[in-house]
Every structure is written in C-alpha cells, then in structure tokens.
Amino acid sequence: MTSTLRLLPSHRHSIGSGFEAESWREPAALLDPFLLVDHFRLREPAFAPHPHAGFSAVTYLFDDSTTGMISRDSLGGEHTIQPGGLHWTLAGRGVMHDEFPAEAGREAHGLQIFVNLPADQKLRMPEVLRLAPQQMPRHEGAGWRSVQVFGGAADMGLPGPASLSIVDIAAGARFDTALAPGEQGLVLVVRGRGAAGELPLSPGHALSLTDAAAVTLRAEEPLRLACFSGRPLHEPVVRHGPFAMSDEGQIVAALQRFHSGGMGRLSPRTLPPTTNIVPKEIPS
C-alpha cells in the first residue's frame, strides 16, 4: 500500500528579538490529534502567565539548546526542563502556565506541541509529567539513530494517542518510517536536506503522512527530523484563545473558571520594564 504524502509549509512568527517559531496549525484534519506544533527558538521571556484547558501543552528541548527552560504552573510546580528533556502539562479542566529560558541571553531550542484531549478527558484534573533525556529509549541502525521522546511501544505513563521520535540520518543514508493502521503522521524537518520519494525535505516544511504504509526518507546532508504519529480523534473542537473544548458551553465554563480563579493563580515574574510579553493563544 502506498502512503499519501503531502508537504505542509510552516507559518513563521516572532515576538520581538527573543522568540521565533515555525508553526504548523492547519489543515486541522491532517494534524489530528495534534492541535499545534511549533519549532521554536526562545532567548528571553516572551509570554505572560497564561491558562490552558482541554489539551496537553508539551515542551521538548533539543540537545543543542544552550540553556534549559523554567516551567511554572498554578499547581505549585517550578521545574527546569534540561536540553533533551520533556515537560508534559496535561491541562484538562484548566491550569495556569509559564515558561522562559533558564539563563538570560542563551537560546532554548525546541518543540511546543499541543496534543488534543479526547472529549471524555477534557474536564479531568490537570497534572504535570516530566521525562529526563536518559529516560527516553534510543534506537539506531545503518546511518541513523533515534530518540523516542514519548508514546510508541514504551509505556512512559504519558497520556494521549500520540508519539514523537527525533531521528538523525547521516548524509547518504536512509530511514524507513511506517504508520500503524488508522494512524496519520507528520515529519518535521529540524535541519538538513533530503527527500521522501519525489518530495524534497528542507527546513520550514513538514511531510504529512496518511494511510498505513512505510515511507523511505533519504538524507542528502545530515538530516534531523521530528517524527510525529497518532490516531486521529475525529471529534469536534471549539477553540477560544488558550482553550480547546468540545462545544461552546465548555468554552464559556472554562472562561468562568479562569476568571474566578478556578484554574489557580500564577503571579507574573519580575521583569525589566523593556521586556515585551504577550498572552499565549492557540489558533481559532
């Protein structure tokens, strides 16, 4: 069976000189169960403390980050995400959240991933899960090596019908990836150039995969890929700012919880007066 391949260009955005990202948000049907994938570089605080509800906000830092990130939440947590590490904030019915570089002037390089929650889990209590780099399974073959960040065959206690692996392919080598029946995937080019069949792979693009079949990825130069896969939920999603719920009534209830303090409180950090910070939202 031949897999259906399609290149998805990114939407680029930035905030001042401290944050820039390549973002994949559409088409929603091809990203499901993911709501958003940002390939970001963060050099200074860019976002004010903000709420999330109805999905999981996942941060993964690449091993070439020159600093870690501090993640704060209204559950009382303040954690350092080390380069190569993962922080999974399952927002559920709502939580306040904030992330910024651990060291001023150094660059955090990573992925911000919003993973949708099934309708029957959107109102669950929030929780936070973390993985250190050494907890992630490693695999290697002829000319390639991979890190399984979350999901897949390993049970790491992380919720959600999704998986992510970071794959490095040497110049001239090949890597075969396959989807399980009923899944779809996204292969994001982090750096380098290569090809999938007749489609060129280069930074700023992602390869959308549908149908259960193997795809051979070829590296023309050293190639780093972020390979996502998951089983689509095929459920209605209503988005409003930082909330992704099943219907308008849940959105109204989430706004009420936020304004009444039902998602907790998270005080702003003390920042220099010139720092430009903005609320964080998901696409409507």
pLDDT at 249: 97
Tens digits of per-residue pLDDT, 106-147?
Answer: 999 999 999 999 999 999 999 999 999 999 999 999 999 999
Q: At a CB cut-off of 8 Å and minimum separation 6, what does 136 contact? A: 84, 86, 147, 148, 149
Tens digits of per-residue pLDDT, 216-269?
Answer: 999 999 999 999 999 999 999 999 999 999 999 999 999 999 999 999 999 887
Question: Between these two residues, 160 and 192, which has the higher pLDDT value?
Answer: 192
pLDDT at 216: 94
CA distances from 186 to 87, 128, 264 (A): 20, 25, 34
- Split at pLDDT 50, 70, 90, the class of 270 is low
Tens digits of per-residue pLDDT, 161-190?
Answer: 799 999 999 999 999 998 888 899 999 999
**Predicted confidence (pLDDT) at residue 276 exceeds the cutoff of 70:** no
Q: For residue 248, which phi and psi values (nearest 5 degrees)?
A: -65, -35
**Predicted confidence (pLDDT) at residue 1 exceeds the cutoff of 90:** no
List domains and CATH numbers for the chain.
Answer: 4-260 (2.60.120.10)
- Split at pLDDT 50, 70, 90, the class of 152 is low
Mean of the per-residue pLDDT values for the chain? Answer: 89
Structure tokens at 77: 């947590």
**Predicted confidence (pLDDT) at residue 158 exceeds the cutoff of 80:** no
Tens digits of per-residue pLDDT, 16-45?
Answer: 878 999 999 999 999 999 999 999 999 988
pLDDT at 280: 56
Q: How far apart are CA 138 and CA 92, in angstroms?
A: 30
Q: How far apart are CA 202 and CA 11, in angstroms?
A: 15
**Predicted confidence (pLDDT) at residue 278 exceeds the cutoff of 50:** no
pLDDT at 160: 62
**Predicted confidence (pLDDT) at residue 150 exceeds the cutoff of 50:** yes
**Predicted confidence (pLDDT) at residue 271 exceeds the cutoff of 80:** no
Please give, one letter per residue, the 3-state secondary structure of the chain.
Answer: CCCEEEEEECEEEEECCCEEEEEECCCHHHHCCEEEEEEEEECCCCECCEEEECEEEEEEECCCCCCCEEEEECCCCEEEECCCCEEEEECCCCEEEEEEECCCCCCEEEEEEEEECCHHHCCCCCEEEEECHHHCCEEEECCEEEEEEECCCCCCCCCCCEEEEEEEECCCCEEEEECCCCCEEEEEEEECCEEECCEEECCCEEEEEECCCEEEEEECCCEEEEEEEECCCCCCCEEECCEEECCHHHHHHHHHHHHHCCCCCCCCCCCCCCCCCECCCCCC
**Predicted confidence (pLDDT) at residue 55 exceeds the cutoff of 60:** yes
Tens digits of per-residue pLDDT, 66-116?
Answer: 999 999 999 998 999 999 999 999 999 999 999 999 998 899 999 999 999
